[in-house]
Structures are given as C-alpha cells and as structure tokens.
Amino acid sequence: MALASQFEKGRIFAALHERDRAFIIPNPWDVGTARLLAQFGSVDRPVNVVMGLQGVQLSMAELSAIGVKRISVGSALARAALGAFLRAAREMQEYGTFTFAEQAVDYRDINTMFGQ
C-alpha cells in the first residue's frame, strides 16, 4: 500500500480537528507549527487555537499574524484562579503570612465590574 500524499494526510488531520464550523488546533507548540496548520491548504474554515496551556507562549498578535481567527482558553482561567488560591493557602500554611492579599482584586474593582 502506497503512503498517502502529504495533501491526503493533511485532509485526514483536518477532518479529525473540525468542530463547530472551525478548524481547531488544540496545542500549537510553537509559531511554526501553528502557522503551518493555520495556513494548511485544505482548511476552508476559520482556524481556532486552544491556548493557555503550560509551555505554550504565543501572543494574540502572533496568532493573528499567522491566520488564526479564533482563540479559546479552555479551562486556563479557572486553573489560573485555582493556582492563585493554592499559592495563597500554601503561604498561610507554610509561612503564616498573608502577602498574597497584595495581588488580590480590590473590592471597588469588583463592584465596578458588576455595575454596583
């Protein structure tokens, strides 16, 4: 059996990642990979990239420049909030200090955000 052409491999890859009328790139590990996938010839819909994963540092400007149309962060914001909570809990447990509160959002900002 002959190996599939690069184009055929690309079509198969694209079919595996098509969701909700977008081509989803779950974890582009570098700009080159994201560029290659975003500009892949057989992708005929907007490219969506899932970001917010550890070790993957691509900016919105970089992603936009290579053709990405949508960016999702999945659970990254919830994990970031939980990380802040766990760091604060560790600080209290290990050091008996409360310096974490210096980075906490101000009540005025919360009230403004919620329109009060």
Q: List, for residues 47-84, the tens digit of each pLDDT value.
A: 777 888 887 788 899 888 877 888 888 899 999 999 99
- Which one-letter amino acid corresponds to residue 85? F
Task: Give me the pLDDT at residue 90, please.
Answer: 98
Task: Give me the pLDDT at residue 37, please.
Answer: 67
Q: Which domain holds residue 88?
A: 76-113
Our count of domains for the chain comes to 2
* Residue 97 forms part of a structural domain: yes
Q: Does residue 101 sit in the same domain as residue 58?
A: no
The whole-model pTM stands at 0.63
* Residue 25 forms part of a structural domain: yes
Task: Give me the pLDDT at residue 10, please.
Answer: 67
Higher pLDDT, 111 or 23: 111
* Residue 29 forms part of a structural domain: yes
Contact 46, 69 (CB under 8 A): yes
* Residue 3 forms part of a structural domain: no
* Residue 2 forms part of a structural domain: no
Residue 70 CA, distance from chain mean position: 10
Q: Where residue 38 falls among pLDDT bands split at 50, 70, 90?
A: low
